[in-house]
Structure 1
Amino acid sequence: MASAPKLLLLLLCSYHTLVAQAGGDSSYKLLSISSLKSDSVCSEPKATPSSTGVTVPLHHRHGPCSPAPSKKMPALEEMLRRDQLRAAYIQRKYSAAKGGAGDVQQSDATVPTTLGTSLNTLEYVITVGIGSPAVTQTMLIDTGSDVSWVQCKPCSQCHSQADPLFNPSSSSTYSPFSCSSATCAQLGQEGNGCSSSQCQYIVTYGDGSSTTGTYSSDTLALGSNTVRNFQFGCSQVESGLNDQTAGLMGLGGGAQSLASQTAGTFGRAFSYCLPPNPGSSGFLTLGAGTSGFVKTPMLRSSQVPTFYGVRLQAIRVGGRQLSIPASVFSAGTVMDSGTVITRLPRTAYSALSSAFKAGMKQYPSAPPSGIFDTCFDFSGQSSISIPTIQLVFSGGAVVDLAAEGIILSSCLAFAGNSDDSSLGIIGNVQQRTFEVLYDVGGGAVGFKAGAC
Structure 2
Amino acid sequence: MASAALLICSFVLFLSHCSSLADGEDAQSYHVVQNHNSSPEVDCSSSKGSNATALPLVHRHGPCSPFDNKKLLSLEEILLKDQLRVDYLRRSALKSSTKPQVNDSEASIPAEYGGGEYVITVGYGTPSREQTVTMDTGSDLSWIQCKPCSACYSQQQPIFDPSQSSSYATIPCNSPDCSQLRSSCSSSCAYRITYGDGSNTSGAYSYDRLTLSPNDVIEHFLFGCGTDNEGLFQDTAGLVGLGRGKRSLVSQTSQVYHSVFSYCLPSTPNSIGFLKLGEPGDASNTVYTRMLTSSNRPSFYFVDLIGISVGGQQLDISPSVFSSRGTIVDSGTTITRLPASAYGALRSAFRSYMSQYPTAPPTRVLDTCYDFSGYDTITVPEVALHFDGVTLDLSVPGILRHGCLAFAGYEGGSFGIIGNVQQQTFEVVYDLGNERIGFVPQACR
TM-score (normalizing by structure 2): 0.88
Q: CA deviation at 1:242?
A: 4.8
Q: 1:98 to 1:417 in 2, by over 3 A?
A: farther
- Residues 312 and 242 of structure 1, relative CA distance in 2, 3 Å threshold: closer
Q: Which residue of 2 aligns with 1:72?
A: 71
Quick one: which of 322, 338, 355 aligns to 2:315?
322
Residues 264 and 30 (structure 1 numbering): CA distance in 2 closer, same or farther, change over 3 Å?
A: farther
Q: Is the 8 A contact 1:61 1:68 kept in 2?
A: yes
- Residue 165 of structure 2: aligned partner: 171
Matched, 1:20 2:14: no
Q: 1:445 aligns with which of 419, 437, 440?
A: 437
1:180–1:114: structure 2 CA closer, same or farther, 3 Å change rule?
A: closer
Question: Who is 2:302 aligned against?
Answer: 309
Residue 262 (structure 1) aligned with residue 253 (structure 2): yes
Equivalent in the alignment of 2:277: 286
Offset of residue 86 of structure 1: 1.2
- Contact conserved, 1:324 with 1:351, CA < 8 A, in 2? yes
What does 1:87-236 align with in structure 2 at a 5 Å threshold?
87-97=86-96, 115-118=110-113, 120-188=114-182, 191=183, 193-194=184-185, 197-224=187-214, 225-236=216-227
Which of the numbers 239, 242, 246 marks the counterpart of 1:248? Answer: 239
**Residues 332-351 of structure 1: pairs in structure 2 closer than 5 A:** 332-351=326-345
Cα contact 2:140–2:248 (8 A) shared by 1 = yes
Aligned residue identity for 1:247: G
Deviation at 1:382, TM superposition (A): 5.4
Superimposed CA distance per residue, residues 299-345 of structure 1 (whole angstroms, 9 cap, x where no aligned partner): 01244121010010010112111111212212211100001111111
Counterpart check, 1:358 vs 2:352: yes
Q: Which residue of 1 aligns with 2:414?
A: 422
Residue 348 to residue 385, structure 1, CA distance change in 2 (3 Å) = same
In the comparison of the two structures, how many residue pairs are matched? 413
1:368 aligns with 2:365: no
Report the Cα distance in structure 1 between the residues aligned to 2:381 and 2:155, rounded to whole angstroms. Answer: 42
For residue 403 of structure 2, what is the aligned residue in structure 1? 410
Which residue type is aligned with residue 434 of structure 1? F
* Cα distance in structure 1, aligned partners of 2:84 and 2:435: 29
Distance 1:176 1:34, change over 3 A: farther
Per the TM alignment, residue 424 of structure 1 is displaced from its structure 2 partner at its CA by 0.6
Q: Distance in 1 between matches of 2:438 and 2:417?
A: 16
For 1:214 and 1:114, how far apart are their aligned partners in 2? 14
CA distance in 1, matches of 2:116, 2:270: 16
Question: Using the alignment, how far apart are the partners of 2:141 and 2:158 within structure 1?
Answer: 21
SS in 2 for 1:349: helix
2:322·2:414 contact (CA, 8 Å) conserved in 1? no
Task: Tell me how far apart the structure 1 counterparts of residues 68 and 377 of structure 2 sit (CA, whole Å).
Answer: 30
Give the deviation of 1:161 after TM superposition. 1.2
Q: In structure 2, what is the Cα distance between the partners aligned to 1:325 and 1:423?
A: 13
For the aligned residues, what is the CA RMSD? 2.1
| Percent sequence identity over aligned pairs | 50
- Which consecutive segments of 4 or more residues in structure 1 shift more than 3 A? 30-35, 44-49, 380-383
**Partner Cα distance (1:121, 1:227) in 2:** 27
Mapped to 2, the partners of 1:29 and 1:97 lie a distance apart of 43
Whole-Å separation in 1 of the counterparts to 2:36 and 2:275:
27
Give yes or no for the alignment of 1:275 onto 2:266: yes
Counterparts in 2 of 1:144 and 1:242: CA distance versus 1, 3 Å:
closer
Code of the residue aligned with 1:412 in structure 2: it is L
Provide closer, same or farther for how the CA distance between residues 90 and 135 of structure 1 changes in structure 2, counting only shifts above 3 A: same
Distance 1:54 1:431 in 2: 21
Rounded Cα–Cα distance in structure 2 between residues aligned with 1:186 and 1:32: 54
Question: What is the TM-score with the length of structure 1 in the denominator?
Answer: 0.87
User: What is the alpha-carbon distance in structure 1 between the residues aligned to residue 161 and residue 36 of structure 2?
Assistant: 43
Any idea what SS the aligned residue of 1:156 has?
coil
Deviation of 1:383 after TM superposition, in Å, equals: 4.9
CA apart distance, 1:46: 7.3
Q: Distance in 2 between matches of 1:143 and 1:242?
A: 16
CA contact (8 A) 1:179 1:198 kept: yes
Distance 2:253 2:34 in 1: 40
Equivalents in 2 of 1:423, 1:70: separation in Å? Answer: 35
The alpha-carbon distance between structure 1 residues 38 and 424, as it changes in their structure 2 partners (threshold 3 A), is farther
Q: CA 1:324–1:46 in structure 2 vs 1: closer, same or farther (change >3 Å)?
A: farther
- Equivalent-residue separation in structure 2 for 1:294 and 1:169 (angstroms): 46
Q: Deviations over 1:43-76 (max 9, x none)?
A: 1457345x41111000011111111243632221
SS of the counterpart of 2:89?
Answer: helix
Q: Distance in 1 between matches of 2:77 and 2:398?
A: 20
- The equivalent of 1:85 in structure 2 is 84
> d(CA) in 1 for partners of 2:330 and 2:263?
12
The Cα offsets for residues 221-268 of structure 1, whole Å up to 9 and x where unpaired, read as 112211111111001010112511110000001111111111111111
Report the Cα offset of residue 187 of structure 1: 1.5
- After superposition, what is the alpha-carbon deviation per residue over 1:382-436, rounded to whole angstroms, capped at 9, x for unaligned? 5533111110001x200011221111211111001215x5211001111000000
Q: Structure 1 residues 422-431 or 87-96, which shifts more? A: 87-96
What is the SS of the residue equivalent to 1:172?
coil
Amino acid at match of 1:128: V
Q: Deviations over 1:187-214 (max 9, x none)?
A: 23xx4x437x111110000011000001
What's the CA shift for 1:32? 5.2
Q: Deviations over 1:100-119 (max 9, x none)?
A: xxxxxxxxxxxxx971102x
Aligned equivalents of 1:173, 1:98: Cα separation in 2: 37
User: Are the structure 2 counterparts of residues 140 and 320 from structure 1 closer, same or farther at C-alpha, using a change threshold of 3 Å?
Assistant: same
For the 8 Å contact 2:60–2:70, the answer to whether it is kept is: no
Distance 1:446 1:218, change over 3 A: same
Q: 1:12: which partner in 2?
A: none
* CA apart distance, 1:94: 1.7
